[in-house]
Structure 1
Amino acid sequence: MALFGGWKESGFHMKVLLIGVLLTHLGTYMVVPLLPIFLKVDKGMTIAEIGLILAMSPLTYQLSSLFGGWLADRIGRRGVIAVGAWLNGAAIAGFLLFDTVWLLMSMGLLSGLGVGLNTPSTKAAIAAIASEEDNKTTAFSLRGVAANVGIAIAGLLTYFILGGEFSLIFYTATGLYILSGLISLFMLPKGCGEEPCETVPVKAYMEIFKNKAFVVFSLVSILIWALYTQLALSLPLRAEDILPDSSVVSLIWTVNAVIVVVLQTSISRWFIEKAHPMNVLALGVLFIGGGLGSIYFSTNFYWLLASGVIFIIGEMLILPTMDATVSRLGTAKMIGVFFGLTNFVSGVGEGAGKFAGGQLLRLGTSSSIPWLTFALSAVVISGLLVALRFWEPLRFSMGRKNEKPERPTSASFWQWIFGRRSPAK
């Protein structure tokens, strides 16, 4: 495919985007697994305060996603991507520097603002470069592999090189975000790439809400995100209760990321390419619920690791399926807005999920109630997704695109990144 045709034009720009994805995920996952522990141990926050601080980010994430998606379509993507990266880097440094709950909540808000600008603009740029339908799912799979390479490196860097030292970890993560912003600003094309940036009339935006399939899918995905976000809060807090050295929890994300890089192709071939997207999402939600529920029985690192592996199987089913589905339900000229709305929806789900999870975990990680709630919620959400498959507007929308997407192997990702060959025929 022309998309992956070497280190020039669209192929080069896609590589720049994926390097940015790798760097931002590397920076994020140096911090995310340890942030609840850091807030509890170093900042003296209660579990309820930790849940509240972590819930702040999705609040601005929602609004800035809408603005970022619109702005990316209006003036171009590279500046929006870069500013988003720099704001999130500043927030990570702020978590280290500030001590009061109100300032830490402000850093959560700033982080959400940065991620909301960066993520939908990056996804819109990827979707625009991968303009052909056969390319889109491949491109988003490559994005997933790049993200998980960053996550894998993050755990190794955090635990073995930086030794769990919070100040080094947070400042290094800030530097990675600064670097990512600079790369995006100077190496991505001006404007909207090959196509001119256009002002979309307000009336056209209102048409989005007439897309029943997209609207209902978005509403159900709020529940998916509310459940998905629980791992980042609950597993570190459980680890802090049962492990002598809780910083080792970062290695769980490393192992999970390696699993994604190695197995995403097989998961896609065995399930995603052969099953209806709603069935894939339903199965993924059950795995996520199973992974969260099993944390209750954990007594050591290896059990926590096993719970994380169960969870990551669900993630491999859910994330590429959701991105590809939004790309298909959206329209090309407003793809940034569609991804902005999708990020808004995920922010609603994550914010509600972190707040609810924080309240449930106030009962203690040894109580069965939080973990049972997570597991039963997964069953309910899975049932909704299966029912949604038979809803006529969604059946019609999904039936318009009958491609069988290709999924890159981890080997093809590395060969493609270094320009040896194309991952797609």
Structure 2
Amino acid sequence: MAFLPQLGRSIYVLLGGILFTHLGSYMLLPFFAIILSTEKGLSLGSTGLVLGGGSIAFLVGSLLGGFLSDQFGQRFTMVGGLLIRGIGLLGFIWGGTFATLLLTNLIAGIGGGLYAPGAKAGIATLASAGLKTTAFSYRGIAANIGVTLGPLLGTYLHTRSSTVLFGGAALVYFVLALLHLVLLKRDCVGEDCPKVDRHGIRQIVTDRPFLSFSFVTIFVWALFTQYSLSLPLRAGQIESARNIGLIFTASAMLVILLQGSVTRFFTKYLHPLSAMAMGMVLIGTGLGSVAFSTSFWHLVASAVVITFGQMFVMPTSDTIVADLAKPEQIGSYFGVAAFVFGAGEAIGNIAGGQLMQRAVAIDYLALPWLLYGALGLLLSAVYVLLRRWQALAKPLTLENEARVEHSSRPLRSKQKT
């Protein structure tokens, strides 16, 4: 199709994988906490612990997946991760106690962690320098197509039963594993494989700019996790949470329609760290405004503000990791980045569940949201300070200038064809 950039077949296969993994996840995500806390009978605190346990398993799987991706190939780790995650999701059909639900989510989390680094590393490796941001923007669009369709499909399946919902999600991952096996190029074998630097992890843990960015970003993901954990629970406090999937769908539609324009703006006018700061102002403002919510439509308005922040943060964070990574260790860098995401998600799920429970206990439901708003503004200030650190900011400036120059060049050549 002429209107799509020439990213190559393999990248489009990876983008398809991103779309359907998000479809499978967002079939469940709007209803996950509700099913655990109502149908399965867990307390709000135990619900947060189960979700947090899955996130911790994601940490282990992502580090392992990044290393395996560099050593044995991306297809190997992605297919294995998809199969393991599908098996884990099937376990929710029969799990009924805290222990079995936690174990089930640990398995699903490991599978998701194995898959994530290979997918992002593949996009970063296969996209040329000038098209890297474009490729990650398309990744965001593909993800949000899945986010858009997932809650709609999940709502339909959830009205049947949670068994149908979890079984449908598992089927998505099994089919996707088969398609990756068939459509992606075969992993390297023997002498065809690049030599892996077995001291690569040691080099990563001494990369101060990357580690500093990663440490701060842990708290970004912890905060953003409240969108999927605490927001549905808040909807249940105000009125029925049955329509919560519509919020996720509306937010995803915004990303699909506007992500390209937002990306062009911050690529051209903002340093990547400044784009992260802008995104955190919006996410913090959106979450903070939930403290004053009195209706479902107020939650929709808050979600719109959070979504605009997401459009600044998501593709920028991936691009920063790709720019800081050493080419021969791209999988391991994205493995650490996935570990960072999982760490933030674990902290967010555990702390979010406990905060929501505490807010109910003291009858001050606005407490978590006021804290989230303050944290968003604090993180924005930290990114502004990091912008002044040349060891981190300068490499990103050079890469961003190359992208701006590249993005203005092909427009004329495309018009000729």
TM-score, length-normalised on structure 2?
A: 0.91
Q: Give the alignment partner of residue 350 of structure 1, picking from 340, 345, 348.
A: 345
Give the total of aligned pairs: 404
Cα pair distance change 1:423/1:362, threshold 3 Å: farther
Q: Give the alignment partner of residue 216 of structure 1, picking from 202, 212, 215.
A: 212
Aligned to 2:134: 138
- How many angstroms apart in 2 are the aligned matches of 1:180 and 1:17? 11
Deviation at 1:392, TM superposition (A): 2.0
Q: Does 1:336 align with 2:349?
A: no
Structure 1 unpaired stretches of 5+: 409-421
Aligned to 1:202: 198
Q: Does 1:320 align with 2:315?
A: yes
Cα contact 2:151–2:246 (8 A) shared by 1: yes
How is 1:182-331 mapped onto 2 (pairs within 5 angstroms)? 182-191=178-187, 196-244=192-240, 246-331=241-326
One-letter code aligned to 2:353: G
How is 1:389-408 mapped onto 2 (pairs within 5 angstroms)? 389-401=387-399, 402-404=401-403
Partner-residue secondary structure (3-state), 1:191: coil
Deviation at 1:357, TM superposition (A): 1.1
Q: Does 1:14 align with 2:34?
A: no
Aligned to 2:99: 102
How is 1:128-167 mapped onto 2 (pairs within 5 angstroms)? 128-130=125-127, 132-160=128-156, 163=159, 165-167=161-163
Deviation at 1:68, TM superposition (A): 0.5
Partner-residue secondary structure (3-state), 2:243: helix
Cα pair distance change 1:154/1:272, threshold 3 Å: same
Q: Does 1:379 align with 2:383?
A: no
- How many angstroms apart in 1 are the aligned matches of 2:94 and 2:78? 25
How is 1:45-64 mapped onto 2 (pairs within 5 angstroms)? 45-64=42-61
Q: Does 1:77 align with 2:74?
A: yes
Aligned to 2:113: 116
Segments ≥4 residues shifted beyond 6 Å: 422-425
1:14-66 CA-to-partner distances (Å, cap 9, x unmatched) read 22111111111001001011101111110111100011011011212112111
Structure 2 unpaired stretches of 5+: 408-413
Aligned to 2:177: 181
- How many angstroms apart in 2 are the aligned matches of 1:56 and 1:16? 30
Deviation at 1:163, TM superposition (A): 3.5
Cα contact 2:129–2:403 (8 A) shared by 1: no
Cα contact 1:213–1:397 (8 A) shared by 2: no
Cα pair distance change 1:5/1:302, threshold 3 Å: closer
TM-score, length-normalised on structure 1?
A: 0.89
Moved more, 167-176 or 40-49: 167-176
Structure in which a larger fraction of residues adopt helix: 2
Deviation at 1:202, TM superposition (A): 2.7
Cα pair distance change 1:40/1:396, threshold 3 Å: same
Moved more, 353-362 or 201-210: 201-210
1:292-339 CA-to-partner distances (Å, cap 9, x unmatched) read 122222222211111111111111000000000100000111100000
Partner-residue secondary structure (3-state), 1:126: helix
Cα pair distance change 1:74/1:215, threshold 3 Å: same
Aligned to 2:366: 368
Cα pair distance change 1:96/1:161, threshold 3 Å: closer
